[in-house]
Amino acid sequence: EAQVTQNPRYLITVTGKKLTVTCSQNMNHEYMSWYRQDPGLGLRQIYYSMNVEVTDKGDVPEGYKVSRKEKRNFPLILESPSPNQTSLYFCASSIGQGGSSPLHFGNGTRLTVT
Amino acid sequence: AQTVTQSQPEMSVQEAETVTLSCTYDTSESDYYLFWYKQPPSRQMILVIRQEAYKQQNATENRFSVNFQKAAKSFSLKISDSQLGDAAMYFCAYRRGSSNTGKLIFGQGTTLQVKP
């Protein structure tokens, strides 16, 4: 089944403790991206990747890192999480970065930083 | 910069009735795509419908249809014969046709309640 898989679904951590949210897609998509969802703000892009080893910042990149060593994987890294990073996170992928390629989303990761 | 606005934080509809969710957007681009995504309580983001800006004909998918008014920059979603399973948060989104970031720009979302 074609899908984007994120893990974990839920994560509770403390301020400053490094964490990684994994994302993997099995559709051979070139483009991958991370979003965060906050009430009243919709979803906002954190980072994106056009292809292997090509990543760039989105609208809200502060406090996050990503890597794209393989085409299928695009982990989101929080080196020193803070409470303002408590949010719902989505990984997404598409064939290309143009509008004609619909984004496929993972099932989300609910992160709480205390 | 492109923006997407959903001015209705919450809507409700009686089962089997019709409801329309509003969305406006702002862009100076001519090549773009518009989307409606559904997010049920399971949090999954489900693509409901897509509209290409160059197409004049409004997109339809079963009980879901859009009213795309390009000059007014309006993109509303109509749900006919509403069902309990339609209860969810709905997001309107915009993506440039040729984008160097691939960014999907989302509205704030509208929570739809369906009453039995």
The string of pLDDT tens digits covering residues A84-100 is: 999 999 999 998 877 78
CB atoms within 10 A of CB A84: 10
Give every CB contact of residue B61 below 8 A, 6+ residues apart in sequence. B48, B49
Mean predicted confidence (pLDDT) in B99-103:
81
Tokens of residue A34, six digits: 């991370």
Mean predicted confidence (pLDDT) in A19-32:
96
Report how far residue B75's alpha carbon sits from residue A18's, in angstroms, rounded to the nearest whole number.
41
* Selected residue of A44, A100, A104 to mutate for chain B interface (largest B Cβ count, 10 A): A100
| Residues of chain A neighbouring B102 (CB-CB closer than 8 A) | 31, 33, 48, 50, 94, 96-98
Q: Is B41 on the interface with A (CB under 8 A)?
A: no
Mean predicted confidence (pLDDT) in A61-80:
97
